[in-house]
Amino acid sequence: MPAASPLELWLLRHGATSWARSGRHTGRTDLPLLPEGETEARALAPLLARYRFTAVLVSPLQRALRTCELAGLAGQAIHCDDLQEWDYGAYEGITTAEIRRSVPGWTIWSHPCPEGETLEGVEQRCRRVIAQAAALAAKPLSDSIPPLPAAEPRRVALFAHGHLLRSLAGTWLGLGAAGGALLALDTACIGVLGKERDQRVILRWNAPVQWP
């Protein structure tokens, strides 16, 4: 029996929004992309068109949905509530500098969000997303899709948000959601998670669209 194709998770942060540019925590507030964010999202399309994706999961928030659409993968998109950004609770719309006036040294990775989501809750969501992506990648392909060569990865694209995708990468690596503290991710940039032999690794991170 032939070996299963390797799994790759392509993590795509949405394009720029007004709050992302000003550093305000944007959890469940459903902001649109800025015009420059739409330009960033369109720039993803030529790169992504060079690859075949077994499945596409997208956060239901409009900034992620629009990025997926402009990047050319909306036709495959499956809405995934677990890909929504952190619920920042009382810190929604507030910058880190403002929070630190009352909570010195505060970070999303080390301190709680009053009335918001816990780090453990975010990690549970990340584990569910990884399991869902793996299950979708393992499904037989449609008869209308040419079979993948054995060595070609089963790629699953995940369109979502900065802190959530960083948390997911930390979870993938066995560091837990808090491992995302080590992994900066800019708007409309790409991370690719996979394996080297049996070890989960980062194959690319915070990559702009110009990479070969």
Q: How far apart are CA 211 and CA 175, in angstroms?
A: 27
Determine the pLDDT at residue 209: 73
SS3 (DSSP) at 120: helix
Is the pLDDT score of 126 beyond 60?
yes
Q: What confidence tens digit (pLDDT) does each residue in 37-56 have?
A: 999 999 999 999 999 999 99
Determine the pLDDT at residue 1: 32
Count Cα atoms within 13 angstroms, Cβ side, for 17. Answer: 23
Is the pLDDT score of 84 beyond 70?
yes
Average pLDDT over residues 185-204: 96
Determine the pLDDT at residue 5: 83
**What average pLDDT is seen over the chain?**
93
Q: How far apart are CA 128 and CA 168, in angstroms?
A: 10
The CATH class, in words, for 7-191 is alpha beta
Average pLDDT over residues 8-24: 97
Q: Map tokens 């920042």 to a residue.
A: 88
SS3 (DSSP) at 94: coil
Question: Is 195 buried (19+), middle (13-18) or exposed (0-12) by CB count in 10 A?
Answer: middle
CB 55 within 8 A of CB 127: no
Q: What confidence tens digit (pLDDT) does each residue in 65-80 have?
A: 999 999 999 999 999 9
Average pLDDT over residues 79-95: 98
Entry pTM: 0.93
The residue ranges of every structural domain in the chain are: 7-191
Determine the pLDDT at residue 144: 44
Q: What confidence tens digit (pLDDT) does each residue in 153-192 have?
A: 999 999 999 999 999 999 999 999 999 999 999 999 999 9
CB 126 within 8 A of CB 168: yes
Residues annotated catalytic, as ranges:
14, 85
Determine the pLDDT at residue 72: 98
Higher local confidence (pLDDT), 144 or 57: 57
Q: If pLDDT is split at 50, 70 and 90, which confidence band does 21 have?
A: very high
Reading the block at residue 76, the tokens are 């495959």
Determine the pLDDT at residue 146: 57
